Structure 1
Amino acid sequence: MSFRLDLPPTLADRLAGLTPGGHLAGMWVTSGSPVAAEIAASSGLDWVLLDAEHSPIGLETTTPLLQAMNGCPATPVVRVPVLDRVLIKQFLDLGAQNLLVPMVDTRADAEEAARSVRYPPHGVRGVGAALARASRWTMVPDYLASADELVSLTVQIESATAVDNAEAIASVEGIDAVFVGPSDLAASMGLLGQQTHPEVTAAVLRTFEAVRSAGKPVGVNAFDPVQARAYLEAGASFVLVGADVGLLAHGARAWAKEWASGD
């Protein structure tokens, strides 16, 4: 008897299913801990970002993180370290259904990202699904034919140049959503570390308008609760509001303040 396995809905599916005014809230996992990933994914949050750009998480780390999150309610998204078709192929083959590609500045960058996640004739993704967790070693029926629907691609706008090109980036076929990174955006504007500076927030809001005019959902990173709520009110469809290492660091410092002797 053959065994059939169906993959869960993608981030794009979940965003498409939002009611008007609805949103998805998530958090980062950067520790590389499968325990932290499982806790985050079963917490009631809608999505969890596994960050392979600014953390120790790599190809071999991502597999156990995804396995730990398997069956949990939250949708896992993997941020690859760079726009590179070889790395993107590898992350897809190990079973990452939802990718976030950083530092997409131009339409050409967006087109390269879209090609990298799709098989020929629409893309350049190498064909190795029978050997890979992506197809669960051929237990996902017709994986090659259905891969475009089983993978979602979000690109990240995080520079002043990308803000100017936001509508062109969002309009590329194969881009499912756009995510704004205020930290690097602030740095590119000469406002390093000032993510809530009025000029930065204005640039974020311009990006929202441009992406939505292209008919795509837009999300944003916002650790500041006031800023996060303001962005949601401005039309963000998905947000990140914290990180596993941040929770641990803040909690440990609070305990130290209350309990440590200070000697």
Structure 2
Amino acid sequence: MTGSGILPGPHLDRLAARLRSGAAVTGVVLKMPGAALVELAGHVGFDLVVLDTEHGPAGGELLENHVRAADSAGVPVVVRVSSNRPEQILHALDAGAAGVIVPHVDTADQAAAAVRAAHYPPHGSRGFALSTRAGRHGAARTDRHIRDAERTLVIAQIEDVAAIPHVAEIAATPRLDAVWVGPGDLSLSVGRPGDLDHPDVTAAIDRIVTDAQGARNAKLCVIVRDEREARSWRSRGAAIVLYNAIDVIRTSLTSLASGTDAEAGPPPARRPLDKTREQEHR
């Protein structure tokens, strides 16, 4: 009996193949800890889970356990690392992630550096070790592992004004799979923090989208607040649509709480218990 392939399995093939063929995929962005939510995302049918270690915990064992949870539900994980540092990209991929999202990519050189860090030679400079989880803790065959690593996805996040003049060059970077428009940081960089509907912000986003769509390989990735936004972005050619789990949960809970408060009315009057029943309830 011989080991083969990288963890977690064939769902990595499906994600890379679908995205690179131009198919639309839908994912959810989750912060750790939340292994049960990762599993649930797979069970309900999401195409991928993004684990956000830029704005959330990023511990090695914690990350590996969340990727294990995703594996159990057959959903691939892409990790948003906290910076464009090779060791962070390596850490995520060694844990078994299907790819990485690199924040604050402002130039084509930075995009190329991210790609190099994510791929083995001759396409990059990723460090090699089969003792990792991605290498089945030493049980994987070297040739199969390296060949399977060709599926690794690299997504560059465009979220700074400084990046806008370079979007076309960034999107044209060989082996860059997608460009993610980061509206939150972009609004801050534009000088309109949090005002995602301000004309300055929407104009910046529109230019990024226009320049990115001219690329042959890099797809458009966006984060949305609801289904209406998702449909709108699909019509604009977004291949990857991501829902922010905390936004979805907050919106749903707020709606439930508001509805419950409005309909419940005053609490029912408490009926007095006789002494015998009162003792039973103590």
What is the TM-score normalised by the length of structure 2? 0.82
**Residues 99/262 of structure 1: CA separation in 2 closer, same or farther (3 Å cut):** farther
Determine the structure 1 residue equivalent to 2:60. 59
Cα deviation, residue 140, structure 1? 3.8
The 5 Å alignment of 1:50-89 reads 50-89=51-90
Mark the runs of 5 or more structure 1 residues left unpaired by the alignment. none
* Higher CA-based Rg: 2
Q: How many residues align?
A: 258
Q: Which amino acid counterpart does residue 165 of structure 1 have in structure 2?
A: H
Cα deviation, residue 51, structure 1? 0.5
Cα deviation, residue 72, structure 1? 2.8
Out of 160-169 and 54-63, give the one that drifted further.
54-63
* Counterpart Cα distance in 2 of 1:115 and 1:223: 32
* Counterpart Cα distance in 2 of 1:219 and 1:117: 19
Paired residues of 2:29 and 2:49 also in contact (CA < 8 A): yes
Paired residues of 2:131 and 2:137 also in contact (CA < 8 A): yes
**Residues 59/10 of structure 1: CA separation in 2 closer, same or farther (3 Å cut):** farther
Q: Deviations over 1:36-94 (max 9, x none)?
A: 11011221222211100111243321111110111435332111111111111111111
3-state SS, counterpart of residue 134 of structure 2:
helix
Cα deviation, residue 262, structure 1? 9.9
* Counterpart Cα distance in 2 of 1:4 and 1:56: 31
Q: Deviations over 1:122-164 (max 9, x none)?
A: 3222221x21011212444324531541311111111122222
Identity of aligned residues (%): 33
The 5 Å alignment of 1:209-248 reads 209-215=210-216, 216-243=218-245, 245-248=246-249
What is the TM-score normalised by the length of structure 1? 0.87
Mark the runs of 5 or more structure 2 residues left unpaired by the alignment. 268-282
**Residues 211/139 of structure 1: CA separation in 2 closer, same or farther (3 Å cut):** farther
* Counterpart Cα distance in 2 of 1:71 and 1:203: 40
Determine the structure 2 residue equivalent to 1:134. 134
Paired residues of 1:208 and 1:236 also in contact (CA < 8 A): no
* Counterpart Cα distance in 1 of 2:20 and 2:176: 13
Paired residues of 1:5 and 1:140 also in contact (CA < 8 A): yes
Cα-Cα RMSD: 2.4
The 5 Å alignment of 1:176-195 reads 176-195=177-196
The 5 Å alignment of 1:3-22 reads 3-5=3-5, 7-8=9-10, 9=13, 11-19=15-23
